[in-house]
Amino acid sequence: MKKTISDINKIKEDLKLPMSIRKGARVVNETIGSEKFMRTVLVCGSTGCASSHSVKIYEKFKQLVHDNKMDDQINIVKTGCFGRCASGPIVMVYPEGSFYSQIKPEYVEEIFNEHLVKGNRVDKYLHHEQRDNPEIKNLYDVSFYKKQKKIALRNCGVIDPENIDEYIALDGYQALIKCLTRLKPQEVIDIVKESGLRGRGGGGFPTGNKWQFAKNAEGKIKYVCCNADEGDPGAFMDRSILEGDPNSVIEAMTIAGYAVGSNQGYVYIRAEYPVAIQRLQTAIAQARDYGLLGSNILGSGFDFDIDLRYGAGAFVCGEETALMTSIEGNRGEPRPRPPFPAIKGLFGKPTLLNNVETYANIPEIINRGSEWFSKMGTEKSKGTKVFALCGKTNDTGLVEIPMGTTLREIVEEIGGGIPNGRKFKAAQTGGPSGGCIPAQLIDTPIDYDNLIQIGSMMGSGGLIVMDEDNCMVDIAKFFLEFTVEESCGKCTPCRVGTKRLLEMLTKITEGRGTLEDLDKMEELCYYIKNNSLCGLGQTAPNPVISTLRYFRSEYEAHVVDKKCPAGVCKKLVTYRITDRCIGCSLCSRNCPVNAITGKIKERFTIDTSKCIKCGACMSACKFKAIVKE
């Protein structure tokens, strides 16, 4: 049913207390007792946790609450991502703020009986940090969250994404109300400009300027698009926002529509994100029902609606012109700019295109003001950025940090350092378009301009941490394999150039490279960069350029000494049995090619001409007697 502004405000008031508890507010117990729900249990229903049965956990809690007729005392909520995917599936119990990690469906009954019914926290299932340290009262006190600042992810892991009321309770749609009732379109754009917000999808173009271009463009029909075609291997912040807080994107797109003068929005989303699609569809339906989308929104006379379009598995469609070509029903090939989409975009009309994370910032900026936002961050990069932290750190997951946080803080404090006592070697940002940050630059404050200067880029926010066991040539090759596969083939520098580049890298990893190849490779990199049509090709050589810049000696070891110092490149590695061997023959029995021979109780040997370097012997050996060198 359509709501008025006062209806929206009433929903917010009614849910204020139970929702504030979930944000970590401490409330005196008596107050909670008088509320409808005594306890709230949040179960992460995001793709990561769902793949380890969190949906079963949710259903089991629901069932137990129902069977025990406790529906009016315990509220079970399925939320979006908490960000701490390595500890999943995650269950949070409020008002205590108990953080249960790696929960299995079998544990549910015990947690229900002990904690929810009797009020005794079940310590053995708690996350170890909270169990071992009584000072930690709440999820947000643990070191993983301490340095984080959640703006784009503010509601992820807090609200039920399939219940628009919970979004409204936490100031949802207040920004839209403010725009429609108190701000002129130009004033909205001025706030976005003054906030200093820059595009979170890759290039970092100032968002306010983009909005201004779209507003200034001539034309009755304009479109507002959202790029949710997140294709970087390892990045999943856009998916998490859409799964955990879809209304924030819907609200922001509606505000953008009002500001630039558009009545139709499109979200271009990967078909590979079924959960995000379903939550977005649900949220759009609820927003339409409340009259927050559709004609005459909240009685303002402004019309806006949103449709979904599905990507079909082409990385290049994350590029803006390719994305629009794909929505139009063509092969998703990019086209030259200008004309820029703001002048001539989707179906030839002026089009505003922002990425999911950029939109998710907008309602907070409107609500709290541009000054609040621009106080965070560095001189030219304001606010926060979400990174998908993965690779060799103890903790992995989604982290949102103020711009200007150093890589060291991310790796050592948020990520909890490198496992197994290994050393930090480099971090890779920006996915296949980015580059590596070596150990000597670990104290660089992370923002758009610093990253570009050291030869990487923000990209969409993948952050892969590597230790001494990672080979930088192999990493460059991995990303090139990806770009070769995903190059759309329209322009020659990218189609042919990346292929030749990959061949050279392969040659080097197989020990057939020469020093001359390194120079040739570098030359080719700059050729591809300068001559490709779109961002995909222009940035494709970055992983090679930056590893050559900081790890040239590692490349030289491959071509001159024919060695892979990290022991990754198979063709350059030999396996050897050391004198720790006690002659148990286990290795020999595990070797698939019978390359290992010897007498029982004597040291065995590997015939390197037969060895295929599969590593089966090394993992079988119980005495660490086999080394790779």
Partner 1 sequence: MGKIKLTSVDFAGTKEQEAELRKMLKELKGTDGALMPALQKAQGIYGYLPIEVQKIVSEELGVPLEKIFGVVTFYTQFLLNPNGKYDISVCLGTACYVKGAGDVIEKIQNRLDISPGDCTSDLKFSLNATRCIGCCGLAPVMTINGEVFGKVKADEVDAILDKFKD
Question: Which residues contribute to the site for partner 1 (CB under 8 A)?
Answer: 271-272, 309-314, 326-333, 347, 485-489, 590, 592-593, 612, 614-616, 619-620
Q: How far is the CB of 202 from partner 1 (least distance, A)?
A: 21
Instruction: Kindly tell me the burial class for residue 1, based on how many C-beta atoms sit within 10 Å of its own C-beta (0-12, 13-18, 19 or more).
Output: exposed
The H or E element that residue 184 is part of is: none
Residue 582 or 616: which CB sits closer to partner 1? 616
Question: Can you tell me the distance from the alpha carbon of 306 to that of 174, in angstroms, rounded to the nearest whole number?
Answer: 19
Per-residue DSSP letter, 423: P
Secondary-structure percent of the chain, ordered helix, strand, coil, rounded to 5: 45, 15, 40
492-509 helix and 472-486 helix, angle to the nearest 10 degrees = 150
Question: Can you tell me the distance from the alpha carbon of 467 to that of 442, in angstroms, rounded to the nearest whole number?
Answer: 13
Q: How far is the CB of 614 from partner 1 (least distance, A)?
A: 3
Q: How far is the CB of 316 from partner 1 (least distance, A)?
A: 9
Residue 232 or 251: which CB sits closer to partner 1? 232
* Cis-peptide into 161, omega within 30 deg: no
Residue 314 or 407: which CB sits closer to partner 1? 314
Long-range own/partner contacts, residues 65-72 (CB < 8 A, 24 or more apart): 65/112, 65/116, 68/117, 70/116, 70/117, 72/36, 72/37
Residue whose C-alpha is closest to residue 204's, from 447, 370, 454, 483: 447
Q: How far is the CB of 435 from partner 1 (least distance, A)?
A: 25
Distances (CA, A) of 170 to 17, 243, 276, 621: 10, 17, 21, 56
Instruction: State the first-to-last Cα distance of the chain, in angstroms, to the nearest integer.
Output: 69
Residue 177 or 484: which CB sits closer to partner 1? 484
Given its phi and psi angles, is residue 120 left (phi above 0), alpha (psi -120 to 50 degrees) or beta?
Answer: beta
Residue 175 or 314: which CB sits closer to partner 1? 314
Q: How far is the CB of 63 from partner 1 (least distance, A)?
A: 29
Residue 347 or 526: which CB sits closer to partner 1? 347
Bridging pattern class, strands 384-391 and 351-355: unpaired
Residue 186 or 619: which CB sits closer to partner 1? 619
Question: Can you tell me the distance from the alpha carbon of 39 to that of 46, in angstroms, rounded to the nearest whole number?
Answer: 22
| Polymer length in residues for the chain | 629
Q: How far is the CB of 223 from partner 1 (least distance, A)?
A: 10
Residue 229 or 251: which CB sits closer to partner 1? 229
Q: How far is the CB of 622 from partner 1 (least distance, A)?
A: 14
Question: Can you tell me the distance from the alpha carbon of 341 to that of 3, in angstroms, rounded to the nearest whole number?
Answer: 35
Q: How far is the CB of 334 from partner 1 (least distance, A)?
A: 13
Residue 178 or 495: which CB sits closer to partner 1? 495
Residue 126 or 627: which CB sits closer to partner 1? 627
348 CB-side CA count, 13 A: 0
Bridge partners (DSSP) of residue 98 are 93
Q: How far is the CB of 335 from partner 1 (least distance, A)?
A: 15
Q: How far is the CB of 331 from partner 1 (least distance, A)?
A: 4
